[in-house]
């Protein structure tokens, strides 16, 4: 794991040399970096998906007309089902 030469880990207590970490610490550091990268990727994906939702809602909103409105009373009535649940 010589890739960590020159890498540092920062806490409130100071700056630590990753190449001096134990093997377990080095592995944890690599996993931390990979996880941080995955989180950044997921944040980008979430931003894209949220933007897509806004776009879909915009498309739906643009095509809505008054004749599509449902009366509130009709919307609140329970729908009867043909199912015979026990």
Alpha carbons 67 and 28: distance in angstroms, whole number: 60
Q: How far is CA 78 from CA 17, 27, 29, 73, 75, in A?
A: 66, 58, 56, 10, 8
Residue 12 above 60 pLDDT?
A: yes
**37-86 pLDDT, tens digit each:** 999 999 999 999 999 999 999 999 999 999 999 988 766 666 666 666 55
* Range list of β-strands (E), 26-66: none
SS3 16: strand
């Amino acid at each position: 794991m010589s890739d960590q030469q020159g890498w540092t880990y920062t806490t409130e207590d100071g700056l630590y040399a990753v190449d001096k970490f134990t093997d377990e610490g080095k592995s944890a550091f690599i996993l931390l970096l990979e996880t941080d990268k995955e989180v950044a990727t997921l944040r980008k994906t979430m931003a894209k998906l949220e933007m897509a939702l806004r776009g879909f809602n915009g498309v739906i909103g643009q095509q809505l007309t008054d004749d599509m409105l449902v009366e509130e009373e009709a919307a609140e009535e329970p729908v009867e089902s043909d199912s015979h649940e026990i």
